[in-house]
Amino acid sequence: MFVQVVSSVFDLMEAYAEKWRAVTTAEEVPLFGFRHGVGLEPVQVNVDRMASIFRQGVRDLHEVWQHALAPDNLAEIALLAERAAPLRVPDSLWVRVVYDFAVAYHRRALPREQLLQSLVPLYLGRTASFVHETASTSAGEVDEIIRGLTDEFVRQKDYLRQRWG
């Protein structure tokens, strides 16, 4: 499912490149009706397994990732894999990884299915990082963390524009 969703997003990026390239800010979507808090059921995830898959990906997919990731980003990913737990993937790096993969998809740097499958260990590493970061936070604090990530995507949009060509 992950590959299907990311493939759809990257396909839409290609189809609407002229539209998104011109956008310079993010805007909150209007809410209709009443704002209410949502109670979330705790979800059990195996964070250690996610981090392990990330580290295995760093060992096994280096050659593949060389076709997608900028050298500095690949080096930073390799350094993260060497650090002790908990795994922490900074927002700034995650944004560059997503943008690098979007560009590699656009340029057909590898067969698209292979490229997107290779993104899965990076996604699991980022997810493990997010779980660690938000383990003892409230729903409101999680919203702020997610908002910070969206702001980072906006801040680094020039990186995407330059690499997209």
pLDDT at 136: 86
C-alpha distances in Å from residue 114, one per residue of 101, 117, 118, 126, 142? 12, 5, 6, 19, 32
Q: Encoding tokens for residue 66?
A: 């060389």
Q: Can you give the pLDDT at residue 140?
A: 85
Q: Which of 14, 28, 53 lies closest to 150, judged by CA?
A: 28
| pLDDT for the residue 40 | 59
Contact 50, 124 (CB under 8 A): yes
* pLDDT computed for residue 41 by the predictor: 66
Q: How far is CA 66 from the centre of its chain?
A: 17
Distance, CA of 144 to CA of 150 (rounded, Å) = 10
pLDDT tens digits for range 10-67: 999 999 999 999 998 888 888 787 766 655 567 788 999 999 999 999 999 999 999 9
Domain ranges of the chain: 2-16+45-164
Whole-number Å distance between alpha carbons of 163 and 165 = 5
Cβ count near 18 (within 10 Å): 7
The pTM is what?
0.91
